[in-house]
Amino acid sequence: MLITCPYCGPRDVVEFTYQGDGNRERPDPASQNFEAWNAYVYDRLNPAGDHNEIWQHSGGCRAHLRVVRNTLTHEILSVAFIRGAHTSTARRKAEDKS
């Protein structure tokens, strides 16, 4: 399985660390809404198909990534920085032309 890091390019999955379901929404840390916390900690969609996931390129640039992966085929449908790409140095482009 290859994940194309927006900074590093295509890399083997062993360079990445799975950081969980990307559909969760963390309640305000001060919140005492137990249902919201319960949903955050335990509820998972577990779809047979496209799944929003959080990965870290821990064996590379160490950026945190938002990945859409198909749980049936392992196809990677999209990869993006969790923190928005802010500058020209954040994207692989000029180098590909050289």
Partner 1 sequence: MVERQSPLEPEFHIGSHGNFEHGVEIILTETGPGSIVQLAAWPGEEKKLIAAIRTVTGLALPDGAGGGLSDGMKSVFGFAPGKFTVADEAEGLAGAFAKAVTPAIGTVTDLSHGRTAIRIAGPKAEWVLAKFFAIDFALPAFPVGAGRSTAHHDVFAQIQRTGSDQFDIYVFRSFARSFWKALCHASEEVGYEVQ
Give how many residues touch partner 1 by CB under 8 A: 28
The reply on whether position 65 binds partner 1 by CB under 8 A is no
Q: Which three-class secondary structure string do you get for 3-71?
A: EEECCCEEEEHHHCEEEEECCCCCCCCCCCCHHHHHHHHHCCCCCCCEEEEEEECCCCCCCEEEEEEEC
Residue 94: name its binding partner from Zn ion, partner 1, none (Cβ under 5 to 8 Å by kind): partner 1
Q: 12 vs 75, which CB is nearer to partner 1?
A: 12
Q: Which residues bind partner 1 (CB under 8 A)?
A: 6-9, 11-12, 14-15, 59-63, 81, 83, 85-96, 98
